[in-house]
Copies of this chain bind each other. A is one copy, B any other.
């Protein structure tokens, strides 16, 4: 029925072990023997069984991506990058959606890692910052790479300097003449929210604009939360001339809320976001935003775990550059 390694051995006229050597690209096989084995493998369409290899002590060539909030555009982009890395390195990718608030997250991840013998995992925010989980992963000895982890030293993964990026964005708004600049914060559990808020404040400071707590409202990274936050801002006695949302989805919600009041973007109010997801180009007016190379971040995180898997101690925390994407949603402060 199923072709096994000794079928191949028989067909090639060698021992099982030799076939195994060829398959695993081990040394000490003559070219002639190697060729014979490869032919037999080809002819019999032999595929070594992952579970048997694994049980006998080899690697799984399997990594998992852990994430909360699967429906975020941002995570989908990261996922594409990780997938890309896995493909290029002949790894398979498993998806593990988790609730970052769940009590049993450590146990869940441990089960997955141990049971499926994962070679490594990729962590995405805010799971990147779960100390208990990281400690456990270290104990078990599974390499992991983080995307935008809050703690930046002694980690392997990828990040961008989001604080500087947010500051630059604010300074851009200032350069357009804006001084009443509002900020819609992201979800509190995410480091990104902290960094972006800090950058917002830094930008104001550099521009010599006083921080006005009234202009900073809560959001949760969703479209709806941007919509609602903007309505609160528009109800202010003196409304802002620019709104800096902590991500693109919220900025899209912001634009919608503004338009619904009969105001125009950027004529009456400028809006900008963060991330540069595809939606930033699709909406009208197209969104000025901070471009974070999410897909590349996913790819690099994937490559770094795999590097760490292959060579213990390898892997680093890589900083990637951001860029400001100036599009149509920001303009000069109204007359």
A: residues with CB less than 8 A from B are 2, 45, 47-52, 54-55, 60, 70-71, 73, 76, 80, 83, 87, 92-97, 110-112, 114-117, 223, 249, 252-253, 255-256, 259, 278-279, 281-284, 286
Set B49, B93, B255, B286: member contacting A94, Cβ < 8 A: B93
Which residues of chain B come closer than 8 Å to A283, judged between CB atoms?
252, 282-284
Known A252-B282, A278-B279; 6 more pairs at CB < 8 Å = A47-B114, A49-B115, A51-B52, A70-B83, A92-B96, A93-B94
Which residue of B51, B80, B112, B282 is within 8 Å of A282 (Cβ)? B282
Q: Which of B2, B50, B73, B94 contacts A92 (CB 8 A)?
A: B94
Instruction: Select A51's contact among B54, B223, B252, B279, beta carbons within 8 Å.
Output: B54
Chain B residue numbers with a CB within 8 Å of A54 are 51
A2's nearest neighbour on chain B, judged by CB, is B114
The smallest beta-carbon distance between A121 and chain B, in angstroms, is 13
Q: How many copies does the complex hold?
A: 2
3 closest residue pairs by CB, A with B: A51-B54, A252-B282, A51-B51
Find the B residue at minimum CB distance from A92. Answer: B94
What is the bound-complex CA distance between A279 and B282, given in angstroms? 8
Name A's interface SS.
helix
A116 touches B92 (CB 8 A): yes
Give the complex CA separation of A112 and B284 in angstroms.
43
Query: Smallest Cβ distance from A293 to chain B, in angstroms?
Result: 15
Q: Which of A73, A83, A95, A114 has the most CB of B within 10 A?
A: A95
Determine how close the nearest CB of chain B comes to the CB of A147; give it in whole angstroms: 17
Question: 14 A-B contacts, Cβ less than 8 Å apart?
Answer: A2-B114, A45-B110, A47-B115, A49-B115, A49-B117, A50-B115, A50-B117, A55-B55, A70-B80, A71-B80, A87-B97, A95-B95, A223-B282, A282-B282
Contact partners of A282 in chain B: CB under 8 A = 223, 249, 252-253, 256, 279, 282-283
**Inter-chain contacts of A51 with B (CB < 8 A):** 50-52, 54-55, 60, 117
